[in-house]
A and B are shown apart, each in its own frame.
Chain A
Amino acid sequence: MSTSIFDIGAPGRGAAAQRPAPGDVSDLPPEALRRKPPRLPEVSELQTVRHYTNLSRRNFSIDNQFYPLGSCTMKYNPRGAHRIASLPGFAGRHPLAELAASQGFLACLHELQEVLKAATGMAAVSAAPMAGAQGEFAGIAMIRAYHDARGDTERREIIVPDAAHGTNPASAVMCGYVAREVPVGADGDVDFEALKAAVGEQTAGIMLTNPSTCGVFERRIADIADVVHDAGGLLYYDGANLNAVLGTARPGDMGFDVLHVNLHKTFATPHGGGGPGAGPVGANERLAPYLPTPMAAKEGDTYRWVEPADAPDSIGRLSAFAGNAGILLRALAYARMLGRDGMRRVGEFATLNANYLMERLRQQGFELAYPERRASHEFVITFRQEAKEFGISAMDIAKRLLDHGIHAPTTYFPLLVPECFLIEPTETETKEELDAFVTALTQVLGEVRTDPERVKTAPHNLPSARLDDVKAARDLRLVHEPD
């Protein structure tokens, strides 16, 4: 670690240029005031800038490294979109500003809603949810509101494949449902017979990612939609993998009733070290009345908010204001730069890159989890042989890959494939970058056979050696303690 900001200060030091003259507070009741100042850093402006600049250099990022993290779509985040969202008119606009002073922003929000409708094949979109998981929550809450409105209150289950993102069952539970898992078959598709057996009058809906978290297209999606709809259930589309089929296939055409889109994946907004994201939800005619508010509406040439009062069946607001507005602006700027052909090419080239990389790795002797299938925009490889033979784990290989200046793919997901990597190169990487990845991973695999200890003890070239997660959880040290 580098020295803490708390250990480089001195009593009385500060960034004087940032301090206004204090105001008079003598009218406030003394018992309401703070007696002892909080322990915050006491550092100069240069110390602050230097400290956090140096810390930044201890991060991997898309701007620095290839980052093939499966299911996360770590593609280039255009600087132009960032610049646009930071324009004074957008960045300085108060979220509760009067309508007359909000027409520019509302026009953008409305346009984004329209773009997302077109891209997903849905009847209406609300961009209110602030992340994918909140979009899931919104979608399942809408499904519940729909059933409740019909007096159909005995449906208690949401079906999720066992390969699904953990957020799926967690979101279902937050909405008061029981999450019922169905298995995924050896070919990566949901086990259709098991699904049929699981669906019934207790089924409120099903949550599916398509292409799935196994990196393959769910080939029987139309049959699945029929089975669930025939039982009175609804279909939720987890948009985590929309990047793979953008411009090629639309969830609305596959039979889904409601969905979310991760703008921080498919629409290239920056991940920011763990957020912010945005998870707009789209719905077909049946579920549109339940969309969360606020939304933008257009009347003639002017724009206004759709507030809860205009949408009596809405599940209501999910944030203090209007969601992650700045992320929505970035996504719109990106979508406009792509346009019709650009959107199709996103899906095409993400798929090309993934299939190329998969084929190269296959030729190098890596074991594919679903060797008979096309890759979508991502694919799964497994190191179960290496684990058995050399006692090496997927995590060991991931850590060794970091030494090659490459961010590790997603490890141990999907959970049903042992010792796996989920690899998603994205469309913005060059063939050379993919080839370099193959070279690096092949080297690591060679090392597994010749010097497994070197791999087990990786990383060796980073600011920290392997960190002890167990100790972190056992001896909880969650705040800096003064010496």
Chain B
Amino acid sequence: MPFIPHTDQDVATMLDAIGAPAIDDLFDEIPASLRCGPLDVPPGESEMEVTAALTQRARRDEPGPCFLGAGAYDHHIPAAVWDICSRGEYMTAYTPYQAEASQGTLQLIHEFQTMMAALTGMEVANASVYDGASALAESVLMAVRANRRSRRRGVAGAGRETATIRVVVAGAVHPHYVETARNIVQGQGIRLEATGFDASGTVDLARFETLLAEPPAAVIVQQPNCLGLLEPVNEVVAAAHAAGALVIAVANPISLALLAPPGDWHESGADIVCGDGQPLGIPLFSGGPYFGYICTRREFVRQLPGRIVGLTEDTGGQPGYALTLQAREQHIRRGKATSNICTNQGLLVTAATVYMSLLGAAGLNAIASRCHATTRKLVEALTSIDGVQQRFTGPFFHECVLDVGRDAEGVAEQTAAAGITGGLPLGRWYPELANCLLVCATEKRSEADIAAYREVLCRILIHAERPAIGSASEGSR
């Protein structure tokens, strides 16, 4: 009986106290016709057996050097981060509703909110939501509420088939984020309209202008965008605000130590900043758990979904922390809540908070700049192969689109077979980019990793080995 501590004597004593002859009698209110027989699952195994079986599976997936990003990034994680997160006091606590018994988690979240607000150039942050994509969905709902309230425009969301509230997606925003947001907001009559990207790989400004002609409730822009490129965010914010739309920025938190924070874009700044916190000390984990963050201006705080921690005082006048503004939330407001969400990804927020404390602004900036420089080296190395070229020429952060001159799906399969996670075949997102790979190099990728990738890619593209860049171009003439 794994994890059940009862001895036979315990069971007998307890049944006696209850006055029931057997445990089965405790289920006598369930109609007999609804009782089920033994479940169709295998017999139990010991921890040792399960560990052995699943370790065998895990070994099959053990990755080589990873040059794939596309929303999840392979950064170094300081050992202290998960040592602290694995403490039972963090890992096995529940939501800090009993504030006096949860000051650890509450103070940590308050410090997290402070750090995220600082990184994004915003005034307030929530305690996190599920992931970056759901953070975008919640940000869209929030922007619609905030804009409706402040400008008295649009109609109530609960009416069906009234798709009258528009939100514009400017430029190349992660397609999984857009799809998630669309799936979550469509029931409330909100329609997402995309500008797409032009030949530069960034927002098609002409189409953007057209879509602003009838002002949308909000505009979404991702920086760096999902192709790694820097969007003209100042122009986007200026145009969106001129049209009376709120601006939702999607940002990689690591990039914010290097790039202008959304709060500083144009003169007015973005109104809501959201994204995925995975780069801040969270392993790739096969896709999750990560966490989504949402930051905003103070004026919109009552529209912010999810848990929020505030500093307050106890009856002795001593400072302490508590969940606050709970009147926005589903356990109080039920059907009128800002969202159905109750989870915040507390454990992942713990990781991110420890990570940001260890790195500080200087450390995060070093990682961001190092990622950028390493990706440039990767791009130089791979584009030195005949037939491989950069698809877009604008500035990028730590991801870049490479045209490999043939179906990139096959190329990615072959690099994987050679033990290298080679990037995302972009045909999965954009059919017109079927010959392109989206590649990324974090600070973890060494020169040797890059050389190994170049060698593998050369072999795949059936080119004779050429000298690596840097080792003189004379000899290759």
Contacts and interface: CB of A to CB of B under 8 A. Distances in A.
Interface in A343-381: 343-346, 348-349, 351-353, 355-356, 359-360, 373-375
4 closest Cβ pairs, A-B complex = A23-B373, A339-B44, A63-B88, A272-B347
Interface in B338-385: 339-350, 353-354, 356-367, 369-374, 376
A55 interface: yes
A37 B17 contact: no
A416 interface: no
A84 interface: yes
Contact of A67 (B94, B127, B161): B94
Nearest to A374: B29
Contact of A59 (B3, B93, B371): B93
A67 B455 CA distance: 56
Contacts of B353: 52
Contacts of A86: 82, 283
Given A170-B334, A277-B343, A321-B71, A429 B284 contact: no
Given A23-B369, A56-B104, A170 B309 contact: no
B39 to A, nearest CB: 5
Given A55-B108, A171-B340, A83 B51 contact: yes
Contact of B358 (A48, A67, A136): A48
Contact of B260 (A18, A32, A413, A472): A32
A176 B121 CA distance: 34
Contact of A464 (B50, B54, B318): B318
Contact of B421 (A57, A77, A101, A272): A101
B354 A319 contact: no
A478 B176 contact: no
A288 interface: no
Interface size range of chain B in the complex: 35 or more
Interface string B248-279: 00000000111111001000000000001000
B432 interface: no
A462 interface: yes
A428 B333 contact: no
B354 to A, nearest CB: 6
A104 B56 CA distance: 8
B115 interface: yes
Contacts of B89: 56-57, 59, 61, 63-64
Given A18-B359, A59-B101, A427-B3, 14 more contacts: A17-B78, A32-B230, A67-B94, A92-B74, A96-B72, A105-B286, A136-B340, A173-B335, A179-B335, A272-B348, A274-B127, A275-B130, A341-B44, A428-B5
A454 B365 CA distance: 52
A169 B330 CA distance: 8
Interface stretch (B146-154, B177-185, B195-203, B211-219): B177-185
B354 A60 contact: no
Contact of A472 (B324, B354, B366): B324
Contacts of A100: 413, 416-417
Contacts of B38: 247, 340-341, 344
A338 B46 CA distance: 9
A130 B289 contact: yes
Contacts of A144: 187
Contacts of A402: 98, 100-101
B473 interface: no
Given A38-B119, A94-B74, A317-B176, A88 B62 contact: yes
Contact of B99 (A34, A35, A467): A467
Interface stretch (B19-27, B164-172, B239-247): B19-27
Contact of B92 (A58, A63, A343, A478): A63
Contact of B51 (A84, A137, A166, A356): A84
Contacts of A341: 1, 38, 43-44
Max chain B CB contacts within 10 Å: which of A9, A165, A170?
Answer: A170
A60 B3 contact: no
A336 interface: yes
A250 to B, nearest CB: 5
Max chain A CB contacts within 10 Å: which of B47, B110, B319, B334?
Answer: B334
B15 A352 contact: yes
B128 to A, nearest CB: 8
Contact of A4 (B24, B107, B285, B287): B107
B453 interface: no
Contacts of B283: 86, 91-92
B464 interface: no
Contact of A31 (B113, B260, B412): B260
A149 to B, nearest CB: 15
26 contacts: A32-B259, A33-B259, A49-B83, A52-B354, A53-B84, A58-B104, A89-B63, A130-B288, A130-B289, A166-B334, A176-B189, A277-B343, A320-B132, A320-B177, A322-B288, A327-B288, A337-B47, A344-B39, A348-B23, A352-B15, A356-B14, A399-B98, A466-B315, A472-B322, A478-B308, A478-B324
A99 B158 CA distance: 41
